[in-house]
Amino acid sequence: MKVVITGGIGFLGRKLAERLLADGALNGQAIDRLVLFDRLAGDVAPGDDRVLTVVGDLTDPDQVTGVLADADAVFHLGAIVSGQAEEDLDLGLRVNLDGTRNVLQACRGGGRRPLLVFTSSIAAYGGDLPQTIDDATPLTPATSYGAQKVACEMLVMDFTRRGLIDGRTVRLPTISVRPGKPNKAASGFASGIVREPLSGVDFACPVTPESSMVILSPRRAVDGFVWVAGLADETLGHDRSILLPGITATMAQMVEAVRRAGGDDAANRISFKHDPAIQSIVDGWPRAIAARRAAGLGFAGDRTIDEVIAAFVADELTAA
């Protein structure tokens, strides 16, 4: 079985690759080739002859077609992040929308009806939202990133309806805690407020202490990718998008969770420096999630913020 991960050298792409290699199979089929397609070079599982890393660009349709040739399953994680898509509309359209269209066309061209898992976002929701969103909440994105994700979700559904792919979409909350350096995601502070102080670095949070985020841990996100890939066609039906659960926490609550994990020294490294542009984006996002469809199909999210932080410490800080 050939599996391709776009964005395979990114944070979640690496974790998904490691999970698939450890499992050795997807949906009961042995994985004999895992292709990681990314604009950046990197090593994942060095020495494992199942892994092939390809450096390239989602906006190049010929290159995408070459990488996806004969793929049995594709996890499409490659994208530019929310803040970057908001700053540069044309870049967002090229990478997030046209890049996804290139992936879909490449899957279509092979004539194999491959499995495709597309990663969307709760940025698909926006504007005048209820306090808690659920599977029936209308998609009303308030950012270019969200609009691009919604457009791609519709394409995944249409290509599936036509029998060209076996598509399914995972609609993700903010993923926290991400390791490494900050990126241009508007939600990046939800990781920085934990990662930096627990690593001995000062952090200035750009939104108010009362601001809240809906968070899903990297562990559970990867679990969600593999889980949704295994759902049967008849279980999903026409609606191929599944909203994953998340925990709601204010930034003040995050500070206290950092205090419990790292003591006063860590918590005192956090300050607040308001950024109106980021605040405006975040204020348009959902405050809570009731992911009843995912729960009914057997998927459970994280239980507490302390559990999310403990997983970060074990996977990233202790392992390092």
For residues 184 and 219, give the distance between their C-alpha atoms in angstroms, rounded to a whole number. 22
Q: Tokens standing for 192?
A: 């920085």
Would you list the DSSP string of 76-94? E-----HHHHHH-HHHHII
Copy the structure tokens of residue 216. Answer: 């899903």
Nearest residue to 316 via CA among 217, 189, 212: 217
Q: Is 145 a catalytic residue?
A: yes
Q: Which of 125, 145, 159, 189 is catalytic?
A: 145
Pairing of strands 73-76, 115-121: parallel
Which among 68, 129, 51, 139 has a CA at the least distance from the CA of 104?
68
CA end-to-end distance (rounded Å), the chain: 32
Which residues belong to the active site? Answer: 145
